[in-house]
C-alpha cells in the first residue's frame, strides 16, 4: 500500500499548486473599474473606465444625458470605436499608439486610481483629430469581436486621423470627447455635425 500514500500526496500537491496558480493568475486577468465625476465638454457628466486584461480592451463610458458616449479601445486589434448615442452611430479609427496611452499605462492608471481628481498635475492632455468618412462601414469583422458587439446593427463610419496643418478647416463641425485628463479626441465631418 505504499503506492496508495504516494498517490494521495501527489493529489494534495496538485490541489495546492492549482490553488496557488489561481491566486497569482487572478490579478493578471482581472478587470479594473473606477468611476470619476468630471466636467466634460462644458456639461456635467460622469466617466467610468473598465480595463479587461484578458482581452486587452479598455472601455470608457461617459454618462451625460443625450450627449453620452462610449469609447472602446481594442489594443489587440489596434482599433478604437466611439459610440455616439445622440447620433445613433459608431465611429471606428486606428489607434495612434504614439498619442494614446499604452494598455499597460492605462491599466496602471486605473489600478492606482490616478484618473480621479483634477488631472495628474502633468501637461495638458494629448489631442487627436479625425475626419469621418460619410460612407458606412459594411463589414465590422476586420475590427474584432469587441467592436462588432458594440456596433452591430448601428450605422458605423471609419475615421482617419488628420495632422496639425489641416485642423483649422474643421472648427465648429466636430464632436469632441475628453477622456479623463489624458486624451481629447475630435471627430469632424458631416456625420457628426449637429
CA 158 to chain centre: 17
Strand order in the sheet with 69-74: 31-40, 43-52, 57-63, 69-74, 79-84, 89-94, 156-162, 126-136, 183-188, 174-179
Q: From CA 59, how far away is CA 71, in angstroms rounded?
A: 6
Q: What is the pLDDT of residue 147?
A: 96
Q: CA-based angle 31:147:113, to the nearest 5?
A: 30
User: Among 62-71, 102-111, 118-127, 131-140, whose mean pLDDT is lowest?
Assistant: 118-127
Q: Is the pLDDT of residue 13 over 50?
A: no
DSSP type of residue 125? P
For a pLDDT cut of 90, what percent of the chain falls above it?
Answer: 34
For a pLDDT cut of 70, what percent of the chain falls above it?
Answer: 63
Q: Which three cell numbers stand for residue 52?
A: 479587461
Nearest to 75 by CA among 48, 47, 96: 96
| More confidently predicted of 83 and 5 | 83
Q: From CA 86, how far away is CA 181, in angstroms rounded?
A: 23
Is 45 in contact with 62 (CB distance < 8 Å)?
yes
Q: From CA 94, how far away is CA 86, in angstroms rounded?
A: 23
Find residue 84's DSSP bridge partners: 69, 89
Find residue 48's DSSP bridge partners: 35, 61
Cα dihedral sign for 140, 141, 147, 151?
positive
Q: What is the pLDDT of residue 79?
A: 97
Q: Is the pLDDT of residue 57 over 50?
A: yes
Question: Would you put residue 165 in left (φ > 0), alpha (ψ -120 to 50) or beta?
Answer: alpha
**Residues 113-134: tens digit of each pLDDT:** 555 555 445 556 788 999 999 9
User: Among 21-35, 120-134, 172-186, whose mean pLDDT is lowest?
Assistant: 21-35
| More confidently predicted of 18 and 182 | 182
Amino acid at each position: 500500500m505504499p503506492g496508495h500514500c504516494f498517490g494521495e500526496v501527489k493529489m494534495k500537491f496538485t490541489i495546492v499548486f492549482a490553488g496557488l496558480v489561481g491566486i497569482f493568475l487572478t490579478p493578471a486577468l482581472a478587470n479594473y473599474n473606477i468611476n470619476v465625476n468630471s466636467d466634460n465638454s462644458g456639461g456635467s457628466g460622469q466617466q467610468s473606465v473598465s480595463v479587461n486584461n484578458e482581452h486587452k480592451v479598455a472601455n470608457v463610458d461617459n454618462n451625460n444625458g443625450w450627449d453620452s458616449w462610449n469609447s472602446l479601445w481594442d489594443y489587440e486589434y489596434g482599433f478604437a470605436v466611439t459610440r455616439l448615442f445622440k447620433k445613433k452611430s459608431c465611429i471606428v479609427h486606428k489607434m495612434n499608439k504614439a498619442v494614446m496611452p499604452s494598455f499597460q499605462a492605462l491599466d496602471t492608471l486605473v489600478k492606482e486610481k490616478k484618473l480621479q481628481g483634477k488631472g495628474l498635475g502633468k501637461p495638458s492632455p494629448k489631442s487627436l483629430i479625425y475626419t469621418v468618412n460619410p460612407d458606412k462601414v459594411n463589414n465590422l469583422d476586420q475590427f474584432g469581436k469587441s467592436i462588432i458587439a458594440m456596433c452591430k446593427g448601428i450605422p458605423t463610419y471609419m475615421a482617419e486621423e488628420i495632422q496639425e496643418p489641416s485642423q483649422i478647416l474643421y472648427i465648429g463641425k466636430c464632436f469632441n470627447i475628453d477622456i479623463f485628463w489624458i486624451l481629447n479626441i475630435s471627430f469632424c465631418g458631416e456625420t457628426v455635425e449637429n
